[in-house]
Chains A and B, each alone.
Chain A
């Protein structure tokens, strides 16, 4: 099976079809984009904390069309905001969580030699790569990168500068990539499970990826269509999203009209709501694996968890219009969508309860990955709870489109998902490299990130309650925003310190490749799932012999055994 010896560097590490190499490519590209997207935000945070003041030192590096004299222009601010959102969601978190962790781990955890369609897998990565290059290049076209928000609402986006066209082409590439990937995951999980590995013996991480793949498969096509329609509006003179009689800066817009701006919003959110679960489910999967392993105890309610994510996945398709309560929809519609939104909060409560109850009666090891996984629980709780006043239409009136919303979803995707993903990196690093990451640096990275993330996002709730709109280039224009401007300064310092703290992670990540403590066995965490039954690092083809599965994924501390774990593939 292993013919990797004959391969050139290019075949082995760049144009590989091995799911593990592709997984690493995805993960590293994703991490780079996460940092890039974060740098955009650190720039914006200067403008938010010290509006209109020139940015020292770095400010001089920018062109006159972005930051003349180091002072940020509003069009550049808008580009940074739109691209931060786009990059974080589509180029950072999803590629890392699904493309990276999913690709690397799903075949290993189900005992398969590779993904079902290895070439499709490579094609998916390269589509993503192209999408990333297009998005990155868009910063350098006339008018700069897309500047109509990551939501790209027309008519604004229809009449925006060239960067928006790049954004649309980039999105088409990214969506294509996700579609190819999701088909591959579904087929792999359905067909390539090892002997004895029934669905209800799958590690929960695999379930999370399975549901995520369905979300990608079903939700992305409407956005792909919408993206093509918007491209037509911009390039071919159609008016899918443009009503009649538009007058832009005093001049009538020469288009036929008759289109609907709301059509875009429905198509966009039909994707973008499930997308939120695409961001969070893999994180929940990772956290579950880490918590169970470090608690040395079976998962409190495995089936409850599985049914909860299935229900969550299904419901995520019928809540999208809760992003549109302020568009003037009738009460029947809004009541339906606020009811579904309340219903979808229930499985999240159940999942949190299960994870917390798993800890009860355990013997908890506070390893570095466990720090991250445990922190995920309260962060996800804050993110979920603050969704309530936004999901109830009446309280959404003052809160909609304010920083409250930004705080709410960042608690889910930043302190929530990002912490989980970091935890995953620390947890599986020894499998991928054969070495452990440094524990002390890991803990400093954890506490630094945890405190700074809260320092950034907690004040957003105060700003939002005070009525501060999001996407404000110059927040001090409004009296109610001026009154909370102090929080902006505090948040910006937190963001910059957070940036410094990530340097510790980057240092630790690369140094441990060479200097990290070597693992003493293939299963350093004494885990039960199949990925630990491979050699370290796993060779092309993964398993030395076809594994067979005899039991569920989390047999920790079963009575009558000397060891406190019972791997799935051990016959006795």
Chain B
């Protein structure tokens, strides 16, 4: 993993939807900076000009100018634009417009203190049954390996491989406490909440190795709950799947 890609800025973006989010962040920050500097200059000017001096008295009358109203109204209008023009459309796309499952890689991610379990359904696209009573040290997901649908399933710990340029749908859940599934370079973050199964989707546009972080305090090992994503070429991904299948049947 190349760590020099990180620094005093947003992490690089490798997802299809991330560019729009980054753009929103940039727009908001330029707006904030402009407003702050404008206010700041006005404040400093006022403080200097109206400092207490011998022979000057304060005026009882208030400043009469339309300018403040105009500034307030333009702030409001700009916020409306940010909301309706940028934020709501981006959010709706990310949260509502899921790609068809048939064209996507669908996986389950089950968080637990303090690892990420990833469950691939295999070529049959069907997840084998899983049951909490089957959970053991070697079977963290509690998969029923006797279920025919489970024959080609793969369970992976902290290693999340998926192909580039193909949508990935993750069904996120948790076995114990609340965690948060965060992949900074993909602009993905979603709480993993026990008792809920929450879908997330994204599509990577660039290959590489990156980190999964847990973004919600989940106990004493919270900092160490680090996973890895590996965004592979389709061939690399095929090979990885084959390796995992082979390892499973040993």
Contacting residues of chain B (1-31) with chain A, CB-CB under 8 angstroms:
1, 3, 6-11, 20-21, 24-25, 28-29, 31
In the complex, the 6 A-B pairs of residues with the closest C-beta atoms, listed nearest first: A243-B195, A467-B184, A483-B6, A394-B90, A328-B198, A392-B87
A484 CB to closest chain B CB (Å) equals 6
A6 to B36, CA, bound (A): 57
B80 within 8 A of A: yes
Q: Give chain B residues whose Cβ lies under 8 Å from the Cβ of A402.
A: 215
- Asked if A385 and B68 sit within 8 Å, CB to CB, the answer is no
Interface residues on A, range: 35 or more
B219 within 8 A of A: yes
Contact indicator B68/A357 (Cβ below 8 Å): yes
Within the complex, what minimum Cβ distance (angstroms) separates A426 from chain B?
18
A366 within 8 A of B: yes
Judged by a CB distance under 8 angstroms, whether A400 is at the interface is yes
CB–CB B58/A156 < 8 A: no
A444: interface (CB < 8 Å)? no
Residue B226, interface by CB 8 Å = yes
CA distance A377 to B222 in the complex (A): 37
A353 and B6 contacting across the interface, CB-CB below 8 Å: no
A548 in the interface (beta carbon within 8 A): no
Closest CB-CB distance, A367 to chain B, in whole Å? Answer: 10
Which of B46, B79, B94, B224 contacts A342 (CB under 8 A)? B79
User: Does A433 sit at the interface, judged by CB under 8 A?
Assistant: no
* Residue numbers in B under 8 Å from A475 (CB-CB): 223
Task: Indicate if A361 sits at the interface (CB-CB under 8 A).
Answer: yes
Q: Which of B71, B79, B91 contacts A345 (CB 8 A)?
A: B79
B10: chain A residues within 8 A (beta carbon)? 398, 465-467
Known: A243-B195, A564-B57. A484 touches B7 (CB 8 A): yes
Which of B119-127, B147-155, B174-182, B240-248 lies at the interface? B174-182
- Assess A155 versus B58: contact at CB under 8 Å? Given A78-B220, A326-B191, A346-B76: no
Q: What 1/0 flags go to A399-426 for Cβ under 8 Å of B? A: 1111000000000000000000000000
Interchain Cβ contacts under 8 Å between A and B, 26 examples = A78-B222, A247-B142, A247-B175, A261-B193, A297-B60, A300-B63, A335-B88, A342-B80, A349-B72, A356-B39, A356-B42, A356-B43, A359-B50, A360-B50, A361-B50, A363-B52, A366-B52, A374-B43, A378-B39, A378-B43, A385-B35, A389-B25, A393-B91, A394-B90, A467-B213, A482-B6
A184 within 8 A of partner (CB): no
Q: Which of chain B's residues have a CB closer than 8 A to the CB of A365?
A: 52
Q: Is the CB of B79 within 8 A of A388?
A: yes
Given A350-B72, A478-B226: A246 touches B176 (CB 8 Å cut-off): yes
Is the CB–CB distance between B132 and A361 below 8 Å? no
Quick check: B222 and A472 within 8 Å, CB to CB?
yes
Chain A residue at smallest Cβ distance from B40: A378
A362 interfacial by beta-carbon distance below 8 Å: yes
- Given known A-B contacts A353-B72, A389-B29, A362 and B222 have beta carbons under 8 A apart: no
CB neighbours (8 Å) of B161 from chain A are: none
Segment with Cβ contacts to B, from A29-37, A59-67, A271-279, A552-560 = A552-560
B159 contacts A by Cβ under 8 Å: no
Task: Answer whether residue A471 sits at the interface, using C-beta atoms and an 8 A cutoff.
Answer: yes
Kindly state the separation between the CA atoms of A74 and B223 in the bound complex, as whole angstroms. Answer: 9
Contact A397 B189 (CB under 8 A): yes
Residues in A with CB closer than 8 Å to B50 are 295, 359-364
A192: interface (CB < 8 Å): no
Given contacts A349-B75, A472-B223, 7 further A-B contacts (CB under 8 A): A149-B217, A248-B176, A261-B193, A356-B43, A365-B52, A378-B43, A465-B25
What are the interface flags for B49-71 relative to A under an 8 Å C-beta threshold, 1 for contact and 0 otherwise? 01111001111111100001001
